[in-house]
Structures are given as structure tokens and as C-alpha cells.
Chain A
Amino acid sequence: NAGVTQTPKFRILKIGQSMTLQCTQDMNHNYMYWYRQDPGMGLKLIYYSVGAGITDKGEVPNGYNVSRSTTEDFPLRLELAAPSQTSVYFCASSYEGTGANVLTFGAGSRLTVL
């Protein structure tokens, strides 16, 4: 039981490049989330999903896109990377049956945009 797995762990992008951060969970959780963490700023919600085919914007969605084609996977797409997207990204999941607000986090993906 791996929990929430994120790849890659580290990535350096040039301004204007695009990439996808992968997230998969094997707990059959129906809710999934993407957060970004910046020093001293806490965790900000980017996008979330309550099930396959359903996604919605969080607090800071600009510059990002998501899709949820399966229960297990919730990739985060960065289009036209900007230095402001330099951050650590965390994927999380939860199960409505035991508490939609009880989150299990992945280990994070550190992204640097130069």
C-alpha cells in the first residue's frame, strides 16, 4: 500500500516550458487535491476533485490545469511555466466515507522555474 505517490520529486524548468506533475493513489480515495507550499505561506489549494471526471478550482488555479480520468490519478499540468510557479507541490487524497477533510499527502514535487 503505497499511499499517495508523486513524480517527479525534483524538476527544473525554463520559463515558458510546460510539464505535468503526476499523482496517483492506491487507497481508493474519491477526493484528490493539489496544493503548493511556499516558505512562510502555508499550503494553498490549487485544484481539487471529488471523483473521476469532476474537477474544480481552488484558491490559486491560475497557470495550472488538471484532469481526473480515473479514481487513482490526478495529474497537474503547468502551461508556460513562470518563476512565480517555483514551489513545492503536494498532492493529497481523502475518502468521503471516513472524512473528506482527513488528508493523506504525497512526499511532494519540488519545481524550480528559471
Chain B
Amino acid sequence: QQQVKQSPQSLIVQKGGISIINCAYENTAFDYFPWYQQFPGKGPALLIAIRPDVSEKKEGRFTISFNKSAKQFSLHIMDSQPGDSATYFCAASGGSNYKLTFGKGTLLTVNP
């Protein structure tokens, strides 16, 4: 069964700190790894994504680190802000299956 395991389930960070969320996958055919951000009462929205031909992708304060040999990828939020408080989902897809498999989500709270 295709799985994406996400940790931690919840995370509390002080303003200005670094938030780190980790995901691990099993299917070596996966070749697309997005992160979605969801605010309360809203639908998830694509935040940032990476393909396995690079080990890191940065967009502003958000960085994905990718370790192909370990089958792991992580989201780093630098200088975390209270406005970053949301639920974050990692996901993966690839091979003959374009459909995304989602992790269970991480509730991030950034305290002021």
C-alpha cells in the first residue's frame, strides 16, 4: 500500500524560530513531492513542491529538503510567523499514478 508518513502530528514554535516537518515514503516510483498549507475553514493550497532531481528547493522562507536514498523529505519554515499557523500536508505521486497520496497532516502553531 502506498503510504506517506508525516511527523510530528502537531508542532508549537515561537515567532522567529524554525519549523521542521518531516515525511517519509515507501514507493520508489514517486517523483513529485508537494506540500499543501491549510488554514482553518479553508481548503488546502499548494505551498511548494519538489522533484527528485534536486535535493533542495527554496521559496522565500519555505524550503523543501529531499533525501532520495532515505526516501524522506522535509519542510523547513524559517523565521516562523504567527500567520504561518496552519495545518501542513505533505504528499507524493509518481510513476503510472498521478493521484496524490497525502500524509496525515501537521498542525503548526506559531506563538507570538
Contacts and interface: CB of A to CB of B under 8 A. Distances in A.
Interface stretch (A11-19, A36-44, A66-74): A36-44
B32 A106 contact: no
B105 A101 contact: no
Interface in B59-112: 89, 93, 98-100, 102-105
B102 to A, nearest CB: 4
Given A4-B43, A43-B102, A101 B9 contact: no
Interface of A is mostly: strand
B83 to A, nearest CB: 19
B42 A103 contact: no
Interface residues of B, number: 21
Given A45-B99, A101-B32, A101-B93, A40 B104 contact: yes
Given A40-B9, A100-B98, A101-B32, A107 B43 contact: yes
Contacts of A114: none
A108 B41 CA distance: 8
A48 B16 CA distance: 40
B42 A107 contact: yes
Given A45-B99, A101-B93, A40 B42 contact: no
A44 B102 CA distance: 8
Contacts of A100: 98
B39 to A, nearest CB: 10
Contacts of A40: 9, 104-105
A102 interface: yes
Interface of A: 4, 33, 40-45, 48, 58, 90, 92, 100-108
Interface of B: 6, 9, 32, 34, 36, 41-46, 49, 89, 93, 98-100, 102-105
Given A102-B46, A103-B100, A105-B43, 6 more contacts: A41-B104, A58-B99, A101-B98, A102-B49, A103-B44, A106-B43
